[in-house]
């Protein structure tokens, strides 16, 4: 039987985001953010994908699962102890911008918020776990959304600069791995979460979307430079949503179509953040869609100077494309679109499962950029059943993760420089796209249900013990 191997020091762990675990949405002087106004349930996805959302809370109509989430805000010690028991080397988490700057535009950081993350980092270090921190994970302060129009507005760059400086100065001795914007390219499909604004009903989406990206690129470069100045031994990466695009068949027209989708969705943002310049292919697209990016003097130099040290990316699925899709079935749940791939099975939410696609992704990314890669999200959202004796036999999750871990090991043999793996939702949390609790990813079950009921008790699933062995054997015992 083949032995799968990983390099010494491989960063095994799990990943989360503040808004999906913390709760405590009004505690510690925290301000409201985008996730706080997103309702739970099926409505959420259609809100995220349609124009015109008003960013108001409407308790008569909706529930708001992120408000309490899984209460990590009060239970982080218990949760971190469980991560330590699994042997985590790293824990990916995000900082809620609104705990540090509740409205986004204050001049001084909120001490209570800073203290909260001090306590979390100290607790992680107690067990030798390094935090991997996403600076902005779908948590923009609501005030910046409502008063400024989110990342449409150049002024937000200044607020972000203040925020990152506060983080780097405060945590310079506690955090060595950072990432700027979570799944930055997801702004193309869900601008509300990624870019902090809703497309208006009569508006063409491209101009504001690409202008907002430009502001994020400038902000990202400012963050990279500040991080390198303030914490010289830290590494700071970008974070993209990567889903390799396959042509449905060998018709060259479809192959070209797939290539274009690959470039526009998977590579555009990474090209700017890793190579430090706008890619050649985007110029034609801008021209054909009458997109004119407003830039300030020095922006392009800044982007050139502020390139990232590594690429963090999420991998859940691949995407199969055909230019004319009218005769084919859609790939149901795949948020990024495409047609159904006849070779793949899908999760209960219709996300196509494709471990080989992870090997393809790693090879494609490394061929293109030659910088270290970090799989910072990957996992199976599934319904779990608690048996009468309290056990949870999530062998389907183990199978999913095992195949993806094998694919990573293969890619390392292929020559890819892979830093680590933090599987998504290492503890059950609120789903970003549907606001459900029942879409569970964790090694740790949390007793919290879609209707808001539940004791919040934590339970170890079968995958908990399996992942513990995987880490202890550095990936050999799969």
Judged by beta carbon, residue 336 or residue 362, the one nearer ligand BG6 is 336
Judged by beta carbon, residue 181 or residue 278, the one nearer ligand BG6 is 181
Cα–Cα separations (whole angstroms), residue 325 to 11, 254, 257, 329: 41, 10, 11, 8
Task: Please answer whether residues 237 and 178 qualify as being in contact, where contact means their C-beta atoms are separated by less than 8 angstroms.
Answer: yes
Judged by beta carbon, residue 162 or residue 440, the one nearer ligand BG6 is 440
Q: What is the DSSP letter of 263?
A: I
377, 388, 457, 476: which is the annotated catalytic residue? 377
Q: Give the residue nearest to ligand BG6 (CB).
A: 433
Q: What is the DSSP letter of 427?
A: B
Nearest one of 205, 211, 245, 239 to 49, comparing CA atoms: 205
Quote the least distance from Cβ 413 to ligand BG6, whole Å.
27
Could you list the beta-strand ranges (E) of 316-417: 319-321, 345-346, 352-353, 373-377
- Residues with Cβ within 8 Å of 371's Cβ and at least 6 positions away in sequence, in order, are 274, 308, 309, 310, 311, 417
Judged by beta carbon, residue 17 or residue 401, the one nearer ligand BG6 is 17
Nearest one of 86, 205, 217 to 160, comparing CA atoms: 217
Report CA Rg, the chain: 21
Quote the least distance from Cβ 27 to ligand BG6, whole Å.
22
Question: How many Cα atoms within 13 Å fall on the side-chain side of residue 342?
Answer: 4
Judged by beta carbon, residue 348 or residue 413, the one nearer ligand BG6 is 348
- Residues with Cβ within 8 Å of 18's Cβ and at least 6 positions away in sequence, in order, are 93, 94, 95, 96, 99, 137, 139
Using CB under 6 A, list all residues that contact ligand BG6: 17, 20, 182-183, 241, 314, 377, 381, 424, 431-434, 439
Q: Residue 342: is it exposed, middle or buried by C-beta count within 10 angstroms (0-12/13-18/19+)?
A: exposed
Judged by beta carbon, residue 241 or residue 412, the one nearer ligand BG6 is 241
Q: Which two tokens stand for residue 195?
A: 């870019």
Quote the least distance from Cβ 314 to ligand BG6, whole Å.
5
CA distance 104 to 140: 8
- Residues with Cβ within 8 Å of 298's Cβ and at least 6 positions away in sequence, in order, are none
Q: Residue 201: is it exposed, middle or buried by C-beta count within 10 angstroms (0-12/13-18/19+)?
A: exposed
Quote the least distance from Cβ 248 to ligand BG6, whole Å.
24
Quote the least distance from Cβ 408 to ligand BG6, whole Å.
18
Q: How do strand 345-346 and strand 319-321 relate by DSSP bridges?
A: unpaired
CA distance 414 to 421: 17
Quote the least distance from Cβ 432 to ligand BG6, whole Å.
4
Judged by beta carbon, residue 182 or residue 273, the one nearer ligand BG6 is 182
Quote the least distance from Cβ 433 to ligand BG6, whole Å.
3
Residue 377 annotated among the catalytic residues of the structure: yes
Active site residues: 377
């Amino acid at each position: 039987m083949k032995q799968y191997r990983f390099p010494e020091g491989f960063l095994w762990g799990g990943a989360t985001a503040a808004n999906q675990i913390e709760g405590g949405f009004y505690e510690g002087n925290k301000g409201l953010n985008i996730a706080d106004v997103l309702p739970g349930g099926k409505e959420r996805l259609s809100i995220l994908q349609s124009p015109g959302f008003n960013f108001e809370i409407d308790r008569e109509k909706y529930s708001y699962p992120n408000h309490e989430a899984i209460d990590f805000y009060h239970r982080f010690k218990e949760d971190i102890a469980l991560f330590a028991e699994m042997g985590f080397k790293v824990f990916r988490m995000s900082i809620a911008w609104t705990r540090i700057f509740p409205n986004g535009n204050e001049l001084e950081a909120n001490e209570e918020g800073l203290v909260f993350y001090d306590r979390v980092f100290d607790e992680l270090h107690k067990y030798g776990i390094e935090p991997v921190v996403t600076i902005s994970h779908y948590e923009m302060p609501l005030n910046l959304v409502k008063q400024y129009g989110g990342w449409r507005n150049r002024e937000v760059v200044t607020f972000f600069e203040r925020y990152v400086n506060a983080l780097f100065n405060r945590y310079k001795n506690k955090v060595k791995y950072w990432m700027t914007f979570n799944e930055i390219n997801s702004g193309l499909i869900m601008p509300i979460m990624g870019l902090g604004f809703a497309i208006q009903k009569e508006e063409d989406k491209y101009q504001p979307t690409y202008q907002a990206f430009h502001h994020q690129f400038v902000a990202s470069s400012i963050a990279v430079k500040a991080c390198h100045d303030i914490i010289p031994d830290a590494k700071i990466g970008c974070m993209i949503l990567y889903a390799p695009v396959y042509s449905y068949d060998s018709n060259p027209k479809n192959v070209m179509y797939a290539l274009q989708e690959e470039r526009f969705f998977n590579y555009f943002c990474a090209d700017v953040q890793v190579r430090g310049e706008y890619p050649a292919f985007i110029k034609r697209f801008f021209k054909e869609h009458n997109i004119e990016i407003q830039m300030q003097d020095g922006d392009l130099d800044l982007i050139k100077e502020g390139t990232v040290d590594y690429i963090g990316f999420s991998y859940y699925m691949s995407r199969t494309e055909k230019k004319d899709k009218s005769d084919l079935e859609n790939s149901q749940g795949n948020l990024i679109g495409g047609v159904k791939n006849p070779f793949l099975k899908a999760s209960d939410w219709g996300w196509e499962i494709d471990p080989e696609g992870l090997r393809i992704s790693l090879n494609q990314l490394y061929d293109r950029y030659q910088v270290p890669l970090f799989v910072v999200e990957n996992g199976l959202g599934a319904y779990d059943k608690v048996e009468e004796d309290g056990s949870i036999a999530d062998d389907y999750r183990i199978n999913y993760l095992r195949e993806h871990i094998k694919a990573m090991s293969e890619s390392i043999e292929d020559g890819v420089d892979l830093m680590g793996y933090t599987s998504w939702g290492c503890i059950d949390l609120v789903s970003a796209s549907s606001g459900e609790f029942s879409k569970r990813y964790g090694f740790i079950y949390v007793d919290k249900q879609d209707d808001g009921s539940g004791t919040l008790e934590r339970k170890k699933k079968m995958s908990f013990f399996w992942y513990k062995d995987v880490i202890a054997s550095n990936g050999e015992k799969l």
